[in-house]
Amino acid sequence: GIKCGIVGLPNVGKSTLFNALTNAGIESANYPFCTIEPNVGVVPVPDAREDALAEIVKPERVLSATVDFMDIAGLVEGASKGEGLGNKFLANIRETDAIVQVVRCFDNDDIVHVAGKVDPVSDIEIINMELMFADMESLEKAIQKVQRVAKSGDKSAAGKLAVYERVLKEVEEGKLVRLIELDKDELQLLRDLHLLTIKPMMYIANVNEDGFENNPHLDAVQKIADAQGAVVVPICAEIEEQLTELDDEEKAEFLSEMGQEEPGLNRVIRAAYDLLGLQTYFTAGVKEVRAWTVKKGATAPQAAGVIHTDFEKGFIRAEVTAYADFIEYKGDSGAKAAGKQRLEGKEYIVQDGDVMHFRFNV
Ligand code: GDP
């Protein structure tokens, strides 16, 4: 699946958030290094459109799209030099498609902060520096390798070398690779290096229940994120974890008391989905209504391939109804009668919410 890695310093609330996300109930204790093994949870993406479709289609079951979250513990200052569980951490994060950085924005004297005080600016700097150190090492190694080849007069190696050296210089100056201006070819050259700071990243500001407003810690995180073009999702992980333990009725009551329509967790999951550049299309039949995940910009055959690779290979056409039309005309036959169901070919770019049927050769 497509995977988000949850990172952050110890005791910032990663496990609490992960527990809430997956309801897995893994241990969360008040000391560093409590979560040693990486934990992966498959998390359904909340989408109210599924219920609206189900009301029309009356399917046997409804299946949501999912995103995998991985709780990655062990990052401390010096991780890139092998401190703590540093190397393991870096290997885990290399596997992910995007990074969710949890930042502690809550004060609580009972909970130890590794650096001695709550300071999100410094925390973010530590994490991002460790990621950048790891990238510098990857770049340096790659440069050494490619230098040898370039010396023998290989032109493509010389091109690679120039890109690697420029990127290394910018990372050394404190820039995340994601923020370095690179064209398509240059990005392609970097792909093999599996750099960490090239991955999309968002910040989760873990606040106290009353910390959503007038919270200087939160403001500080927002300021950093703005400068990086990154998203911040404020959340109280502790409350979210408590919410997952309630039944539906209690949950609704709890949320309405707080003046919220849905758990804050939903914002985290949707933001992660966005961060990954993903969108949803639906299949809607009497057997099931199902949300499927494709990259934004995916073609109809690629969308078909998410269901089964044979669907992509043998793709002929797709019958497509925009979500709003499907709802307005109450299903396939209504949409068809109103002329709202289109036949699309191989070049069609899937739009978020499309309801699709595929025709294919087997
Ligand atoms: P991790 O080391 O980053 O995985 O952090 P944990 O999830 O284990 O959390 C560390 C401690 O902080 C635990 O005792 C949590 O109960 C507590 N904690 C987590 N989120 C919050 C929060 O939003 N507010 C408060 N006051 N405590 C929290």
pLDDT tens track for 29-57: 433 443 444 578 888 889 999 999 999 99
For β-strands 355-360 and 315-321, DSSP reports them as antiparallel
Residue 341, SS3?
Answer: coil
Fold exhibited by the domain 297-360: Ubiquitin-like (UB roll) (3.10.20)
Q: What is the pLDDT of residue 84?
A: 56
Tell me how far apart the alpha carbons of residues 235 and 225 are, in angstroms, rounded to a whole number. Answer: 16
**CATH homologous superfamily, domain 129-191:** Obg-related GTPase Ych/YyaF, coiled-coil domain (1.10.150.300)
Angle at which helix 155-172 crosses helix 184-191, to 10 degrees, equals 90
Q: In terms of DSSP bridges, do strands 3-7 and 98-104 run parallel, antiparallel, or are they unpaired? A: parallel
Protein residue closest via CA to atom 21 of ligand 1: 238
Cα(238) to centroid of ligand 1, in Å?
Answer: 7
Q: What is the pLDDT of residue 79?
A: 67
Domain ranges of the chain: 3-48+64-118+200-274, 129-191, 297-360
Going by alpha carbons, the residue nearest to atom 1 of ligand 1 is 11
Per DSSP, the three-state class of 28 is coil
Kindly give the parts of the chain with pLDDT less than 50. 24-37
CATH of domain 3-48+64-118+200-274: 3.40.50.300
Q: Which residues line ligand 1 (CB under 6 A)?
A: 8, 10-16, 28, 30, 34-35, 106, 108, 111, 206, 208, 236-238
pTM summary value: 0.88
Instruction: Pick from 6, 7, 16 the residue to mutate for probing ligand 1's pocket: most ligand atoms within 8 Å of its CB.
Output: 16
Please tell me the predicted confidence (pLDDT) of residue 30.
37
